[in-house]
Amino acid sequence: MINAFRTYNPLNILWLAVLLFVLRAGYVYSAPPTLTFTYLEPFARLLAPGTYTYVFPPAINIFLAGVIVFGQALLVNRLVNQYNLLGKPSFLPALMYIVLTGLFTPFLVLSPPLICGFLMIWMFYKLFALYKADDAKSITYDSGMIVALGSLIYFPFIYLFLAIWVSLILYRPFNWREWVIGIMGYGTIFFFLAVAYYLSNKLHIFKNIWTPLTTAFPTHVNINYYNYLVLLPVIVMLILGSISLRQVFFRSYVQVRKSFQLLFAVLLITGLSFYVKAQFSLTHFLLCVIPLAILFAYYFLYAKVRWFYESLFIILLASIIYFQFNTF
């Protein structure tokens, strides 16, 4: 299967759709009778009065989530090929994205982090363009606005503002105006939110928006470790992908090296920002999928021992399907 996606063949789009269906169809039978989807944080609902919570039958919810994942997979694939991050075009980034977004059953339904995936992709397009940009101020301003929009949908997205500064460190010589204008872009969105609070006579509680940022980082999270056995092949792929990338890292183009450093920084930022939400939720880690999908695509594109990498991928697929029907 991996070998088929190593080539840039448009027919692979059809196989991606088939795989998407296979990885999600089983959950329809064990999902709750109804699934609720809320697309805005409570503090942002003054900007969108009316209905912001939708209740769907499980089949409809999972279908809509699948359509979103399919679109995002193709956008991620286009992003990787446009900036030549893997050295040659393929459909492996899209394949890895679809597989990783099927790891856990909470990933299979509509959720704010899933919607924020579009904003993350848009942001990566902006940040990767910094390397050759003559003037970075418009890019950083737009990126600040993207982060602000994402934090209205899912508040932990606010930490991705750090990715803007990381990208400026990696891609640009220091210019304090470029660092400040990102803050201005973020503040533009929240200025309109403050106006909405003012017109509603609620400006005195506007400062409470930032209270979750003062939450202490947890020292313990109650989880059932048996439900995370599916991560074993993922961890193996992560290790092998890191080794594969390290072997050729300093022989790669400068832009590619810096782009992978940015992806690693985003992986750390998104992985560690889960604690901002009061209730632990696996859906948060959908924000980690894009950098992981690109790293795994890199490994599978250059892996040499076919029986091993094909077997590893089949084990991952089998684990995902098995754990959809078995909980411990």
Q: Is 106 or 252 the better-scoring residue by pLDDT?
A: 106
Range of 176's domain?
A: 2-325
> pTM to 2 decimals?
0.92
Domain count across the chain: 1
pLDDT tens digits, one per residue of 15-68: 999 999 988 888 888 788 888 888 888 888 877 766 777 888 888 999 999 999
Question: How confident is the model at residue 223, as a pLDDT?
Answer: 58
Please compute the mean of the pLDDT values over residues 103-120 and round it to a whole number.
92
pLDDT per position as a tens digit, 218-230: 666 565 666 677 7
CA–CA separation, 228 vs 106, rounded Å?
A: 13
Percentage of the chain exceeding pLDDT 70 = 93
- What are the C-alpha distances in Å from 50 to residues 54, 153, 211, 242? 11, 15, 25, 47
Confidence (pLDDT) at 328: 46
Decide which of 146 and 196 is more confident: 146
Tokens of 50: 């009316």
- Is residue 327 scored above 60 in pLDDT? no
**Mean pLDDT, the chain, as a whole number?**
86
Whether 285 has a pLDDT exceeding 60, the answer reads yes
User: Cα separation of 249 and 269, whole Å?
Assistant: 22
DSSP 261: H
3 versus 188: the higher-pLDDT residue is 188
Each residue of 294-323: pLDDT tens digit? 999 998 988 888 888 889 899 988 888 887
Q: Quick check: helix, strand or coil at residue 326?
A: coil
- Residue 149: which of 126, 130, 122 has the closest Cα? 122
Contacts of 169 (CB under 8 A, 6+ apart): none
Please enumerate in sequence order all residues whose Cβ is within 8 A of that of 118, keeping only pairs 6 or more positions apart, or say none. 68, 71, 72, 75
Spell out the residues 6+ positions from residue 241 whose beta carbon is closer than 8 angstroms to its own: 295, 296, 298, 299
